Amino acid sequence: MSVWCRCYGRIAMQEGSRFSVKKSVKNFFDEAVFADSRTEHRSGVVITEFSFVFSEDGKKAATMIDTWLSEVVENPFYVYSQVEAEIRFT
């Protein structure tokens, strides 16, 4: 039986970035399943609110989220992010 971690929040990129949270997550995480995703355009910024789960727990899940977000932040169109996670430690 798999243990699932939930990750949710928002990521903002400048318009024209062609960045997709969903594609980024699918390319980085194994077994990621999106629960929700909404996009809003405000003053030249694209804000994506998201929620997904993936099969991992403990420090490894935290490290994976941190590594993924580090890659997102490196995007030259990056504006800001607010990301939270619910991780089971056993």
Per-residue pLDDT for 1 more than 80? no
Host H or E run for residue 21: helix 21-28
Question: pLDDT tens digits, residue range 80-89?
Answer: 999 999 999 9
For residues 6, 8, 13, 17, the Cα torsion angle rounded to the nearest 10 degrees is 40
Question: pLDDT tens digits, residue range 33-70?
Answer: 999 899 999 999 999 999 999 999 999 999 999 999 99
Per-residue pLDDT for 31 more than 90? no
